Amino acid sequence: MKNYEVLQATLRECQLHAGVLREARDELGDAHFDAETVVHITTEQRRLLDQLAYRFSKLQDNMGMRLFPALLDWTEEPLPESSTFAEKLQRLERLGALESVERWRELRETRNQLAHEYEDAPALKAAALNRFIADVEILLVMWQKVDAFEKDNG
């Protein structure tokens, strides 16, 4: 029962991050940046982008560090402690809880790019922001798939 309680608490936390992420994305609208517009980001856009980056990171961290291991325990598919994160992702992909291990890795790359400001390279900054905004939706779809997997198998 303890594993199920941990899983449920983690699901609730992920749901919170996903909800705020969705709200901020909706508030940002159909923003698309280029080398010129990226240097004129409004205060509101900056606030929303910061919110998106924070919740994106929180959701991805919670899914990777807490939810995925809890799902593997709950489905009685635990891996040895010495298993790599890649092995855990591959098991979740085989179970149908995760769409694509490769896509998860790409989302990590996007997150790492957010750490760079690219102040002297507006075209790079615009490309990174546009990729990030697109990947917010992909992370939300991944979250929905994991959440549906738990509900379907619960």
Measured in degrees and rounded to the nearest 5, phi and psi for residue 94 equal -65, -35
**What's the pLDDT at 40?**
94
| All structural domains of the chain with their residue ranges | 2-153
**Which class is 2-153 in CATH?**
mainly alpha
State mean pLDDT over 14-33.
96
Contact status, residue 25 vs residue 136, Cβ threshold 8 Å: yes
Answer whether 0.85 is exceeded by the pTM. Answer: yes
Q: What is the pLDDT of residues 39-74, one digit of tens each?
A: 999 999 999 999 999 999 999 999 999 999 999 988
Q: What span, in angstroms and rounded, lies between the C-alpha atoms of 106 and 10?
A: 23
Q: What is the pLDDT of residues 110-127, one digit of tens each?
A: 988 888 878 889 999 999
Sign of CA dihedral 22, 133, 17, 153: positive
Query: Which pLDDT band, with edges at 50, 70 and 90, does 105 fall under?
Result: very high
